[in-house]
């Protein structure tokens, strides 16, 4: 039940981020729904295909489509209020990758994958919905931009989970703590302009 709740919360967070990006691009209602949809389930779909879990999760339960549709409607109705919060997209995107990273890791453990493969699966689950969203919106995906700490935050949180479960306390706390690590790492990286090392030299065009 906990994992289902986390999955739904991740769907909501990513759907809202998808709506905000789509509205910035002035897409029509259908376009907004499609962007919200692929942002929400794109990473999970790729994850399920990789581990042979078919039909993929969102095709097995109608609740996912319903949640996305309701979230899209909510985000459109309150878009003006959401856009007044300058960091809304960043916040929902960060929450989404935190939730989906650990959900992907849990799926990997269920498939009896090694910790490294579980972390990779969690990163794919968290990031590739956003990759599809950005490509469809004609943007360089956030995960590929040197200015952004994105996948690195997922890897940090996923690695922390496997370290925390070695400690003598309830695994649920390790799960929640790791989600928070992903979210906080992403937000702090943006707040303090932390980036990966620059391999292009000092003359790189930052525009």
**Sequence-distant contacts of 1-4: CB under 8 A, at least 24 apart:** 2/172, 2/175, 3/103, 3/106
Containing domain of residue 78, as a range?
Answer: 2-143
For residue 133, is it within any domain?
yes
For residue 117, is it within any domain?
yes
| Whole-number average pLDDT of the chain | 89
For residue 174, is it within any domain?
no
Residue 52: left if φ>0, alpha if ψ -120 to 50, beta else—which one?
A: left
For residue 26, is it within any domain?
yes
User: pLDDT category, 207, cuts 50, 70, 90?
Assistant: very low
Q: What percent of the chain has pLDDT over 70?
A: 93
For residue 180, is it within any domain?
no
For residue 32, is it within any domain?
yes
Measure the CA–CA gap between 91 and 17, rounded to whole angstroms: 9
- The number of domains in the chain is 1
Tens digit of each residue's pLDDT (9 = 90 or more) over 84-95: 555 677 888 899
Q: Please indicate whether residue 177 or residue 169 has the higher confidence score (pLDDT).
A: 177
3-state secondary structure of 150: coil
Half-sphere exposure of 198 (CA within 13 A, CB side): 9
Measure the CA–CA gap between 53 and 50, rounded to whole angstroms: 8
Q: Please indicate whether residue 58 or residue 203 has the higher confidence score (pLDDT).
A: 58
For residue 126, is it within any domain?
yes
Tens digit of each residue's pLDDT (9 = 90 or more) over 22-42: 998 999 999 999 999 999 999
pLDDT of 82 strictly over 90? no
pLDDT of 168 strictly over 90? no
For residue 207, is it within any domain?
no
Measure the CA–CA gap between 34 and 12, rounded to whole angstroms: 14
């Amino acid at each position: 039940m906990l994992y289902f709740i986390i999955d739904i919360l991740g769907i909501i967070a990513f759907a809202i981020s998808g709506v905000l990006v789509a509205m910035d691009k002035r897409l029509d209602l259908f376009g907004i729904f499609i962007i919200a949809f692929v942002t929400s389930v794109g990473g999970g779909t790729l994850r399920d295909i990789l581990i042979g879990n078919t039909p993929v999760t969102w095709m097995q339960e109608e609740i996912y489509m319903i949640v996305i549709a309701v979230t899209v409607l909510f985000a459109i109705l309150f878009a003006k209020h959401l856009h007044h919060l300058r960091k809304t997209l960043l916040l929902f995107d960060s929450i989404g990758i935190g939730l989906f990273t650990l959900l992907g890791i849990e799926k990997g453990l269920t498939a009896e994958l090694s910790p490294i493969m579980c972390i990779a699966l969690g990163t794919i689950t968290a990031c590739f919905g956003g990759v599809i969203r950005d490509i469809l919106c004609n943007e360089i995906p956030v995960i590929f931009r040197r200015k952004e700490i994105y996948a690195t935050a997922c890897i940090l949180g996923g690695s922390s989970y496997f370290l925390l479960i070695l400690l003598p306390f309830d695994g649920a706390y390790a799960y929640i703590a790791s989600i928070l690590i992903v979210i906080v790492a992403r937000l702090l990286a943006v707040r303090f302009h932390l980036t990966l090392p620059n391999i292009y030299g000092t003359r790189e065009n930052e525009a």
